[in-house]
């Protein structure tokens, strides 16, 4: 049905009968369907208000107009395979723990990368912060790539550093391992 013109389908009496049989509060859908293709507009009425038995009709109408193929492309990009936010957040965290403008030894860099990975794994799935009444907190951001348009983002709970105390407790009796690794590094480089 995707290649069929919307105007030829609308003129068919079967579709018109289906649209006219909608609930009384959805009678304006017919007018909206007629306005779809000439101006390439989306439906003016809220899709969520449609009755469940008419959801398939709305899906068929969306497939008719070839200009709605861009919507399908956008939906494909919503797949987790193409989302890189968490990867970029991890890279940003690495730069926080080991900035590029500072030189570190191999052992120093390695330990900083391990700490960054521990911090990220411990704090990656923080929940949204809540107000005293239980409502979630949100903030408004104005990213540069949106050119002045705003984005609403949830405010996460504060980061936790509980992993650091458990690391210190675990390494109190194992200090010799760090000294051994340091000695191995210097003897192998000579």
Q: Domain span at residue 34?
A: 6-76
Asked if residue 28 is part of any domain, the answer here is yes
Asked if residue 188 is part of any domain, the answer here is no
Q: Of the candidates 119, 99, 12, 97, which has an alpha carbon nearest to the alpha carbon of residue 60?
A: 12
Q: Identify the H or E element spanning 115.
A: helix 106-123
Asked if residue 170 is part of any domain, the answer here is no
Asked if residue 70 is part of any domain, the answer here is yes
Give CA–CA dist 100/102, Å, rounded. Answer: 5
For 76-85, the pLDDT digits (tens) are 566 565 567 7
For 37-89, the pLDDT digits (tens) are 444 444 434 444 556 555 665 566 566 666 666 665 665 566 565 567 788 88
The band of 16, judged by pLDDT with boundaries at 50, 70 and 90, is: very low
Exposed, middle or buried by CB within 10 Å (0-12, 13-18, 19+), for 83? exposed
Q: Of the candidates 115, 119, 109, 110, which has an alpha carbon nearest to the alpha carbon of residue 89?
A: 119
Asked if residue 71 is part of any domain, the answer here is yes
Asked if residue 48 is part of any domain, the answer here is yes
Asked if residue 60 is part of any domain, the answer here is yes
Indicate the pTM of the whole model: 0.46
Asked if residue 93 is part of any domain, the answer here is no
Report the number of distinct structural domains present in the chain: 1
């Amino acid at each position: 049905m995707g290649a069929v013109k919307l105007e030829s389908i609308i003129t068919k009496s079967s579709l018109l009968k289906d649209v006219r049989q909608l609930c009384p509060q959805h009678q304006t859908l017919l007018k909206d369907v007629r306005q779809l293709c000439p101006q390439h507009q989306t439906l003016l009425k809220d899709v969520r208000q449609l009755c469940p038995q008419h959801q398939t009709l709305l899906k068929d109408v969306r497939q008719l107009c070839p200009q709605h193929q861009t919507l399908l492309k956008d939906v494909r990009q919503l797949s987790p395979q193409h989302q890189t936010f968490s990867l970029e957040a991890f890279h940003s965290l690495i730069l926080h723990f080991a900035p590029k403008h500072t030189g570190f030894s191999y052992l120093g860099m390695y330990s900083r990368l391990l700490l960054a990975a521990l911090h990220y794994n411990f704090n990656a799935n923080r929940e949204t912060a809540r107000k005293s009444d239980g409502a979630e907190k949100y903030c408004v951001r104005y990213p540069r790539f949106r050119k002045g348009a705003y984005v609403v983002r949830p405010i996460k709970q504060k980061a936790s550093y509980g992993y650091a105390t458990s690391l210190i407790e675990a390494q109190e009796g194992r200090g010799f391992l760090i000294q051994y690794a340091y000695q191995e590094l210097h003897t192998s480089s000579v």
